[in-house]
Amino acid sequence: MSGLTAFARFEVARLLGSWKFLAITVGFPVIFYMLFLRNESAGKIVDGAVPWRVYLMVSMCSFGALVAALNAGGSRLSTERASGWARQLRVTPIPAWSYVATKVAASMLVVLPVVVLVELVGMAFGGVHLSLISWFELTGLLWVTALPFAILGIFVGFMVNAETAYPVVTALMFVLGYFGGLFNPVSHMPHALQTAARVLPSFHQTSIGLALLDGKGLGIEDTLVLAAYAVVLGVAIVWKHRVEESRGLA
């Protein structure tokens, strides 16, 4: 267990010790929040539920979680597999399952400060005012529901090589961000895009966060879709990891 704990600490330290990783994961959502904040009046109500500034803050928290999780898992994992680091870990006493589990856990740990930072920017510069308990509930909910993003990042890291990982991660960031309604409310999109958004985890994570704030309660559909993504991608990762282990590739 001590070896597993040390490995987990090492993974988190590597992520937080990279200024490039921190600049991307923190910079993107904060910059986009400040840019888009000026596009709409402060009091505009989105979909008859929440003010634009609240909607934008929640959506940029989701985008920040997406960016952090995909970069923590996808790009780094594919590089490690190409360098042989993953194969070297197989000769250590660390259990085989812990490699994937630690990667997911490390991704989740770096997601939390990104969500909190975007919320602080929303509080300080966006004029978002919530009760203390609402802040805690929103933070916890957005963090927990980022799990499908963390698992997706690991899945990408297993499926693509080091050369294609970064463009794939970048494409996923903006496809899930734009078509998931993180930059513009889904209700403002053409009907075909509204339908497409409802199959994306980014849309449902934002929706579940907004549902908490507008008093509608957590949506069952949002919860089920996010859970389905986590389970299906998790099963795919376990299968892929076992295949590569059997071939001596991971």
Residue/partner pairs of 94-102 with CB below 8 Å, 24 or more apart: 94/3, 94/4, 94/7, 95/4, 96/241, 96/245, 98/4, 98/7, 99/241, 99/250, 100/154, 100/237, 100/238, 100/241, 102/4, 102/7, 102/8, 102/11
Q: What is the pLDDT of residues 65-106, one digit of tens each?
A: 999 888 877 666 776 666 665 566 555 555 656 777 888 888
Distance CA 204, CA 5 (A): 33
Q: Show the domain range for 100.
A: 2-247
Q: Which of 159, 154, 160, 157 is nearest to 103 (CA)?
A: 154
pTM recorded for the entire structure: 0.85
> How many domains does the chain divide into?
1
Has residue 11 got a pLDDT over 80? no
Over residues 6-20, the mean pLDDT reads: 64
Distance CA 79, CA 171 (A): 18
Q: What is the pLDDT of residues 133-182, one digit of tens each?
A: 999 999 999 999 999 999 998 898 888 877 788 888 889 998 999 999 89
